[in-house]
């Protein structure tokens, strides 16, 4: 089923309360069908929000900072990890199609087809993947274009019969920094610096994850440097024992130096900076009601405080039952 964040947030709250609750138990407690709970579980697993032990560190932070899963940073987290088709931060495969449909689309098809139709995607997938992915195509497209899916991050936009990448919502540079930190850990380990070309040319690198071109990626790296998430140092030779000079604007090739210690700190900062947290769409919907004659919002701050204190109701689950439905994976 396509991603439904309303279902996902209810299920995450349930598993936060009782990590090993069965699908049947969760379905009964929150009033959803077992099929919808299974689908939410699949998305939670794919998105690195949930594992066999319960909520991951990423899932706990997302539920704490964004209990209604409305923040754009949450969309990017789900997009990034689900694009890896349940393979996490393993080394890149030889061919993206080796990891399945989602990985093939984002790291292969879209690189050559930033604008496409559903029929073109279906034809390309049929020739590159061994299995029948007709159903997955509809699920994937709906997930990225529905309001209760990943539409907020604007990785994919839809106009009539055409789908397009290249104009994502990247207002929050700390989100980009978090994604870079994960890609860096996967591809470069503990390496402290590397040539910018290594980032730009990575087949499953930051440009592909964001759905942007090289010039846009360079602009994003400049923003990260301004916030000291990275440093940009000259790649020109320098004396032994000295630090390379700052990169000059005209230098197309330069060293990128990582400045973060923990990717989760970047994620927490991204949530702090996200304009949709907490419940900004709900607050905005009340602005017309709260406006006074001078155009001021005298009650907005109190309403915002009230919404800020809201959290999804935590379901009171019964004691752990004798059976536990194992998590389902989309792989295979």
Instruction: Please say if the pLDDT value at position 179 is more than 90.
Output: yes
Q: To 5 degrees, how large is the angle CA 309–CA 310–CA 312? A: 145
**Residue 323: pLDDT band with limits 50, 70, 90:** very low
Least confident of 214-218, 240-244, 327-331: 327-331
Instruction: Please say if the pLDDT value at position 294 is more than 60.
Output: no
Determine the pLDDT at residue 90: 96
Q: The sheet that has 162-164: what strands, in order across it? A: 115-117, 162-164, 157-159
Gap between the Cα atoms of 164 and 161, Å rounded: 10
Better pLDDT: 111 or 234: 111
Q: To 5 degrees, how large is the angle CA 49–CA 40–CA 75? A: 55
Which of these, 282, 304, 281, 300, lies nearest to 290 by C-alpha position? 300
Estimate the crossing angle of helix 23-30 against helix 5-17, to 10 degrees.
110
Gap between the Cα atoms of 187 and 189, Å rounded: 6
Determine the pLDDT at residue 220: 97
Gap between the Cα atoms of 247 and 292, Å rounded: 51
Q: What percent of the chain has pLDDT over 70?
A: 80
Q: What percent of the chain has pLDDT over 90?
A: 72
Half-sphere exposure (CA, 13 Å, Cβ side) for 287? 9
Say how many C-beta atoms besides its own lie within 10 A of residue 128's C-beta: 16
- CATH number, domain at 179? 1.10.10
**Residue 252: pLDDT band with limits 50, 70, 90:** confident
Instruction: Please say if the pLDDT value at position 59 is more than 50.
Output: yes
At which residue do the structure tokens 């870079």 appear?
Answer: 180
Mean pLDDT value across the chain: 85
Instruction: Please say if the pLDDT value at position 53 is more than 80.
Output: yes
Which tokens belong to 302?
């109190």
Residue 208 lies in a domain: yes
Residue 186 lies in a domain: yes
Residue 264 lies in a domain: yes
Number of structural domains found in the chain = 1
Say how many C-beta atoms besides its own lie within 10 A of residue 166's C-beta: 16
Better pLDDT: 142 or 304: 142
Domain containing 211 equals 173-270
Residue 262 lies in a domain: yes
User: Rg of the chain's alpha carbons, rounded to an integer?
Assistant: 21
**Residue 72: pLDDT band with limits 50, 70, 90:** very high
Residue 161 lies in a domain: no
Residue 266 lies in a domain: yes
Residue 232 lies in a domain: yes
**Residue 114: pLDDT band with limits 50, 70, 90:** very high
Which tokens belong to 90?
């393993």
Determine the pLDDT at residue 234: 84
């Amino acid at each position: 089923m396509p991603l439904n964040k309303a279902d996902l947030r209810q299920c995450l709250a349930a598993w936060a309360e009782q990590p090993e609750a069965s699908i049947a138990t969760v379905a009964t407690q929150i009033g959803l069908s077992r099929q919808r709970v299974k689908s939410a579980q699949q998305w939670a697993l794919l998105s690195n929000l949930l594992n066999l032990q319960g909520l991951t560190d990423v899932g706990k932070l997302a539920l704490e900072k964004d209990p209604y899963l409305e923040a754009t940073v949450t969309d990017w987290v789900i997009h990034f990890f689900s694009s890896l088709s349940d393979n996490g931060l393993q080394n890149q495969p030889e061919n993206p199609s080796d990891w399945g449909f989602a990985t093939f689309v984002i790291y292969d098809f879209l690189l050559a087809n930033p604008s496409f139709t559903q029929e073109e995607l279906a034809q390309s997938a049929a020739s590159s993947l061994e299995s029948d992915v007709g159903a997955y195509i509809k699920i994937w497209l709906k997930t990225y274009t529905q309001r209760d899916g990943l539409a907020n991050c604007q990785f994919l936009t839809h106009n009539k019969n055409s789908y397009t990448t290249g104009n994502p919502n990247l207002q929050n540079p700390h989100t980009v920094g978090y994604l870079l930190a994960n890609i860096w850990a996967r591809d470069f380990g503990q390496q402290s610096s590397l040539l910018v070309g290594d980032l730009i040319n990575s087949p499953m690198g930051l440009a592909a994850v964001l759905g942007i071109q090289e010039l846009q990626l360079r602009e994003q790296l400049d923003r990260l440097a301004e916030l000291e998430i990275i440093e940009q140092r000259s790649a020109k030779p320098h004396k032994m024992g000295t630090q390379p000079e700052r990169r000059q604007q005209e230098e197309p090739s330069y060293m990128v130096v990582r400045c973060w210690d923990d990717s989760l700190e970047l994620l927490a900062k991204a949530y702090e900076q996200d304009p949709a947290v907490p419940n900004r769409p709900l607050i905005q919907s009340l602005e017309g009601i709260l406006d006074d004659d001078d155009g001021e919002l005298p009650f907005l701050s109190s309403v915002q405080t009230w919404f800020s204190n809201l959290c999804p109701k935590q379901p009171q689950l019964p004691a752990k039952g004798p059976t536990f439905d194992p998590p389902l994976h989309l792989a295979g």
